[in-house]
């Protein structure tokens, strides 16, 4: 079947193809390295002539995210993509969407910062993605792909989770995953939902008062403190449910491990090679790869701490996820961090040296 064909493409291109195939209704974006291929691929594919998907290059990331906000208000499946500085610009809109409880997908193909930084890969937006990012008490559902295949697969997964919980979801990739070419099996085509389906599935959406129903109002504003607290508590209860039900992770060679590396995305790929090298030298080490960064696999990391002598958090940043690991481990075993900065990807051999010197 043509749908099952293995093709070779960049991670960014896989995002675009997967969006078209999973019935996405609209993409709104602005060029920024290293993710511009998402918009370029969509423009080249012209999905408006096939599935009817809207593709629009906005005047800024601020506008892109507010187009996504407007599109999400209407119950449609909408998304944007950007890279770190652009995602910083989007934070206000993301906060509004979290506050108004809207489903949408934001893809961040991270590059090194701070500021304009570099166009080379980084994982230094972990805090921004997982701890809110914008103003107010909120969370995004954050998925971290470690391959081009997962770039393709997580688009549909992100939309599914976003609509299940009426909450924005983020695919937190990095420049390496976005730019690398790998073989990928694209997901099968799924038609865009019809108007009737959207109105039935999203009775809250601003579709117009079809059938004379009461007006739907999408807002994150409530001036009465008592009411605003109720809204906040409801949103927090939703977050607790997501934490209970949606944690995803991968285990690699942990069965007999005496030490563990915790790493996500590109860093997890480095970790696997480091584990191979270390095991050849007689060091029993395995990997726990969080796939959902929020909700974080807290219980799994905690359980890991009872089985190993030490945990290394391998991140392409100055140490961000390591804080969540330490919170999970609660001091049971030593937790170390290793990372490279400025767009440098750690070398598997240097990771092995860090393992040896850390524990």
Partner 1 sequence: MTREEIIEKGQLVYKKPTLLNDTPMHYCPGCSHGVVHKLVSEVIEEMGMTDKTIAISPVGCAVFAYKYIDVDWQEAAHGRAPALASATKRLWPDRLVFTYQGDGDLACIGTAETIHALNRAENITIIFINNAIYGMTGGQMAPTTLLGMKTATCPYGREVKLHGYPLKITEIAATLDGTCYVTRQAVHTVAAINRAKKAIRKAFEYSMQGKGSNLVEIVSTCNSGWKMSPEKANKWMEENMFEFYHLGDLKDTGADK
Q: Which residues bind partner 1 (CB under 8 A)?
A: 25-26, 28, 54, 56, 58-60, 62-64, 66-71, 73-74, 76, 78, 92-93, 96, 100, 206-212, 214-221
Q: Minimum distance from CB of 100 to partner 1 (Å)? A: 8
Closest to partner 1 by CB, 78 or 321:
78
Kindly give the pairing relationship between strand 181-185 and strand 6-10: antiparallel
Kindly give the pairing relationship between strand 259-262 and strand 285-290: parallel
Closest to partner 1 by CB, 69 or 259:
69
Measuring CA to CA, which residue among 56, 13, 58 is closest to residue 34?
13
Closest to partner 1 by CB, 63 or 81:
63
The token duo for 91 is 């934070």
Residues linked to residue 200 through DSSP beta bridges, in sequence order:
none
Q: Minimum distance from CB of 114 to partner 1 (Å)? A: 24
Q: Give the C-alpha separation, 328 to 322, whole Å.
A: 10
Closest to partner 1 by CB, 198 or 270:
198
Q: Give the C-alpha separation, 162 to 4, whole Å.
A: 26
Q: DSSP 3-state assignment of 231?
A: helix
Q: Minimum distance from CB of 210 to partner 1 (Å)? A: 6
Closest to partner 1 by CB, 162 or 335:
162
The token duo for 352 is 């092995």
Q: Minimum distance from CB of 97 to partner 1 (Å)? A: 10
Q: Give the C-alpha separation, 331 to 267, whole Å.
A: 24
Residues in the chain, total: 359
Exposure of 72 by Cβ count < 10 A (0-12 exposed, 13-18 middle, 19+ buried)? buried
Q: DSSP 3-state assignment of 43?
A: helix
- Which CA distances in Å does 263 have to 60, 107, 246? 32, 19, 19
Q: Minimum distance from CB of 221 to partner 1 (Å)? A: 6
Closest to partner 1 by CB, 78 or 278:
78
Q: Minimum distance from CB of 109 to partner 1 (Å)? A: 22
Q: Minimum distance from CB of 333 to partner 1 (Å)? A: 45
Measuring CA to CA, which residue among 300, 175, 299 is closest to residue 287?
300
Closest to partner 1 by CB, 231 or 253:
231
């Amino acid at each position: 079947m043509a749908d099952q064909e293995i093709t070779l493409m960049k991670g960014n291109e896989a995002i675009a193809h997967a969006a078209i195939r999973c019935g996405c209704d609209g993409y709104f974006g602005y060029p920024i390295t290293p993710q511009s291929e998402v918009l370029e691929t969509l423009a080249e594919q012209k999905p408006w002539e096939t599935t009817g998907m809207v593709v629009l290059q906005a005047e800024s990331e601020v506008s892109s995210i507010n187009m996504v906000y407007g599109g999400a208000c209407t119950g449609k499946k909408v998304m944007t993509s950007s890279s770190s500085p652009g995602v910083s610009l989007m934070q206000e809109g993301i906060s509004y969407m979290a506050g108004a409880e809207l489903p949408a997908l934001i893809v961040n193909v991270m590059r090194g910062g701070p500021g304009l930084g570099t166009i080379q890969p980084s994982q230094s937006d972990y805090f921004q993605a997982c701890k809110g990012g914008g103003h107010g008490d909120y969370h995004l559902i954050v998925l971290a792909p470690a391959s081009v295949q997962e770039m393709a697969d997580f688009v549909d997964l992100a939309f599914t989770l976003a609509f299940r919980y009426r909450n924005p979801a983020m695919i937190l990739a990095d420049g390496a995953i976005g730019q690398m070419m790998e073989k990928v099996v694209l997901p099968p085509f799924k038609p865009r939902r019809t108007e009737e389906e959207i109105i039935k599935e999203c009775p809250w959406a601003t579709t117009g008062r079809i059938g004379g129903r009461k007006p739907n109002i999408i807002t994150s504003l409530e001036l009465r403190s008592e009411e605003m607290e109720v809204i906040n508590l409801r949103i927090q209860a939703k977050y607790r449910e997501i934490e209970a039900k949606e944690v995803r992770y991968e285990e690699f060679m942990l069965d007999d491990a005496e030490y563990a590396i915790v790493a996500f995305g590109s860093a997890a790929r480095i970790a696997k090679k480091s584990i191979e090298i270390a095991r050849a030298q007689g060091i029993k080490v395995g990997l726990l790869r969080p796939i959902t960064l929020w909700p974080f696999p807290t219980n799994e990391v905690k359980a890991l701490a009872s089985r190993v002598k030490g945990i290394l958090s391998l991140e392409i940043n100055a140490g961000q996820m390591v804080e969540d690991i330490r919170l999970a481990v609660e001091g049971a075993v030593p937790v170390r961090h290793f990372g490279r900065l400025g767009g440098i990807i750690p070398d598997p051999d240097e990771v092995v040296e860090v393992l040896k010197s850390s524990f």
